[in-house]
Amino acid sequence: MEAKVEARPVIRVQAPMPERDEGVLPEEEHEIKMTARDVNVYYGEKQALFGVNLDILDRSVTALIGPSGCGKSTFLRCLDRMNDVIEGCRVTGKITLDGESIYAPQVDPVQLRARVGMVFQKPNPFPKSIFENVAYGPRIHGMIKTKADAEEIVVNSLTKAGLFEEVKDRLNESGTGLSGGQQQRLCIARAISVDPEVILMDEPCSALDPIATARIEALMEELKENYCIVIVTHSMQQAARVSQRTAFFHLGKLVEVDDTAKIFTNPTDIRTQDYVTGRFG
């Protein structure tokens, strides 16, 4: 059999050039909002985090970066005790919020989660109306006494999340009918509706397209004026764009934490350097 070899059409692509944000941010003073001291996390027999020590600054964005499975999401979930609901998960060490341990026996995890809000990777609005999505949290925490309260909180939260203008005519429609980016902003509105002090975001843009991502990032920029934000991200560009401080996790250990500009330009640890320059991960 004679092999027929024909010239096939080809498309040439250019290898991407990594973009770098070389801008040096002006130094600001931030209070320490949360601290983690010697935090170990075990899933059953397996240890997922090894002695993490980290300070999280108020009114700023702290990015947690690192390769998959390095423990950054695990650490994030320690900060609002979401790990409590996972079977066989055990946390040792000390995590404080405003100087008080959040794992102390007298602390109610439900109240804690009202103070430390969370936004998840996949937009997860309740299958209820947009209004109910936002009003639910304040309602169960007794922040709503009258109908006017509810409306005020809903409008405020949606406005802060930059969603109000888009949905003001259809507040009674289902939240699941929105686009992915809108859903995620609805989730952010829901998180800020209970007036938290800290907002944790677990890869909030990984399920979104670039335009929606840009809107969320702009939103984070605004929110950090009032809130302490911790974001887990896989995108180093995103970390560089939105965060003031970056923590690099690797194999369950916190390798390095510093100002974002320093991490991306002049990291101390060779592993950080390898990761941010794309050599592994």
Partner 1 sequence: MSEAQTIDQRANVRDWASDDAQRRVRRRYGADRRLQLYGIIAIVLAIGLLGILLASLVVTGLPAFLQTKVNLEIYVDPTKVKPDDLAKGNFRGLVRDALSSFVPAEATDKQKTEVAKILTSDAPYIVRDYVVGHPDTIGKTITLPIALSDPFDQLNKGVIPKEVDALSWSQVRYFERLRNRGVVVEESGRTSLKLDIYIDPAKVEAGPPPTGDFAALARDSLQAYLPDVHDTALFAMLADDAPDAIANRVAADPAIIGKTVQIVFPVSPPFQELAEGKTPKVPNPRFTPVQLAAFDAMAAKGLVHTPFNWELFFNADSRFPERAGLAGAITGTFLMLLVSFALSFPIGIAAAVYLEEFAPKNRFTDLIEVNINNLAAVPSVVFGLLGLAVFIGFFGLPRSVPLVGGMVMSLITLPTIIIATRAALKAVPPSIREAALGVGASKHQVMMHHVLPLAMPGILTGTIIGMAHALGETAPLLLIGMNAFIPSIESMGILEPATTLPTQIYSWADSPERGFVSRTSAAILVLLGFLVIMNMLAVVLRHRFERKW
List residues near partner 1 by CB under 8 A: 1, 3-4, 80, 82, 85, 87, 110-114, 117-120, 122, 124-127, 136-137, 140-141, 176, 187, 190-191, 193-194
Give 189 or 254: the residue with its C-beta nearer to partner 1: 189
- Closest distance of CB 141 from partner 1, Å: 6
Nearer to partner 1, 38 or 100 (CB): 100
- What is the smallest separation between the CB atom of 187 and partner 1, expressed in angstroms? 7
Residues 6+ apart with CB under 8 A from 66: 72, 248, 249, 250, 255, 275, 281
Least distance (Å) between residue 266 CB and partner 1 = 36
User: DSSP class of residue 45?
Assistant: T
C-alpha dihedral, 188 to 100 to 245 to 49, nearest 10°: -90
State which residue, 119 or 261, has the beta carbon closest to partner 1. Answer: 119
Structure token pair of residue 25: 């941010």
> Cβ neighbours of residue 193 under 8 Å, at least 6 residues apart?
134, 135, 137, 138, 153, 154, 157
95 or 118: whose CB is closer to partner 1?
118
Report how far residue 192's alpha carbon sits from residue 116's, in angstroms, rounded to the nearest whole number: 10
Q: Which amino acid is at 266?
A: N
